[in-house]
């Protein structure tokens, strides 16, 4: 079992609430307030979980500047009141930032009994294999 420090536990809670508010904000037709709260909680939680310095190093690597610009630009656009455009920018930036983790996630999901068999269906497998390929390092 992995032991977490108190700040990491707080970060997990903040990140979880952030994801909940983002999901709930999208369900409620892109509610500006819920999306803004979710964005703030998600980014703050991430900083608590991996630490402030590592968060800055992750987001501001030279090869990830475009992705960081889209993600943080999307957060800013949501905060100023254009939720649909902001969420689209955030999602694009999120996929650019975390595309190096997708092969690991796909490999992990394929080992889960029910989900793995679904991902190995012929018409789904082609898309999952393409999403699982990564040309960039994390």
Is residue 93 in some structural domain?
Answer: yes
> Could you please report the per-residue DSSP string of 3-72?
---HHHHHHHHHHHHHHHHHHHHHHTTS-HHHHHHHHHHHHHHHHHHH-HHHHHHHHT-GGGHHHHHHHH
* pLDDT at 11 (0 to 100): 95
Is residue 137 in some structural domain?
Answer: no
Q: Hey, is 124 helix, strand or coil?
A: helix
Domain boundaries, position 47 = 6-99
Is residue 44 in some structural domain?
Answer: yes
Cα–Cα distance measured from residue 24 to residue 46, given in angstroms and rounded to the nearest whole number: 19
Is residue 106 in some structural domain?
Answer: no
Is residue 40 in some structural domain?
Answer: yes
Is residue 81 in some structural domain?
Answer: yes
Cβ(123)–Cβ(111) under 8 Å?
A: no
Q: For all residues of the chain together, what is the average pLDDT?
A: 90
* pLDDT at 106 (0 to 100): 84
Is residue 77 in some structural domain?
Answer: yes
The answer, yes or no, to whether residue 72 has pLDDT greater than 90, is: yes
Total domains present in the chain: 1
Is residue 53 in some structural domain?
Answer: yes
21-67 residue pLDDT tens: 999 999 999 999 999 999 999 999 999 999 999 999 999 999 999 99
Task: Say what the pTM is.
Answer: 0.80
């Amino acid at each position: 079992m992995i032991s977490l420090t108190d700040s990491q536990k707080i970060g997990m809670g903040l990140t979880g609430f952030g994801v909940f508010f983002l999901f709930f904000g999208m369900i409620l037709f892109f509610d500006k307030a819920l999306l803004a709260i979710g964005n703030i909680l998600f980014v703050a939680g991430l900083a608590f979980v991996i630490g402030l310095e590592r968060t800055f190093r992750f987001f501001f690597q030279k090869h990830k500047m475009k992705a960081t610009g889209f993600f943080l630009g999307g957060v800013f656009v949501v905060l100023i009141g254009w939720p649909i455009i902001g969420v689209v920018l955030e999602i694009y930036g999120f996929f650019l930032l975390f595309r190096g983790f997708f092969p690991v996630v796909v490999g992990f999901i394929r080992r889960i009994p029910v989900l793995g068999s679904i991902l190995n269906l012929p018409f789904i497998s082609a898309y999952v294999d393409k999403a699982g390929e990564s040309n960039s390092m994390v």
